[in-house]
Structures are given as structure tokens and as C-alpha cells.
Amino acid sequence: MKKRKKKLVRKLPKETWFIQRLRREAMALFSSRIIALDARTVETVKRTDGLVLHLAQMEAAHGRLAENLVGLQAIVMALKERYDKEHQTQP
């Protein structure tokens, strides 16, 4: 009788598989939403991201990132509110 060779297959727990599936779906949704945005919106998002990144780098360089995270968050919220005001749909 021939000995069966054991397959070395690492089974992931169902929860991990579920989380991975959720992540994939979220990324697909995010990508399609980004593609749907017009060029100006994308440019605004890029500039906002750049500003936040620049501020984060500056703060990290001075070692005060934790202290100023709230300020950074406030800047992001202010930018978001300003953007929302500019792009309100008129009834």
C-alpha cells in the first residue's frame, strides 16, 4: 500500500479570511469612488494629503507629533468642511 503524502496547506481561520474579504471589498469600493471623482476633487485630495503629510513630517522631526495630533486633526476637519462648503449641490 502506497503511503499518502501529507499536503502542507496552512489553513487560515475563518475570521481572518472574512477580514481579508472585507478589506478587498473596501479597497474595490474606495478605488471605484476615487475613479468616479472629477480631476479637481482628486487634485484637492492630493493637496490635502500632501499638506497633512508635510505637517506630520515636520511634527515628527520636532518630536511633538503626539502633542499636536489634535491640531492636525482640526486642520483636516477644517479643510474637509471648507471643501464640503465649496462643493455643495444647489437645489
* pLDDT for 10 beyond 60: yes
* pLDDT for 4 beyond 80: no
Query: Rounded CA gap, 69 and 56, in Å?
Result: 8
Average pLDDT over residues 39-55: 63
**Which cell numbers hold the place of 44?**
484637492
Q: Who contacts 72 (Cβ-Cβ below 8 Å, separation ≥6)? A: 52, 55, 56, 59
**What predicted TM-score, i.e. pTM, was given to this entire model?**
0.26
Query: Rounded CA gap, 53 and 68, in Å?
Result: 13
In the chain, the amino acid numbered 29 is L
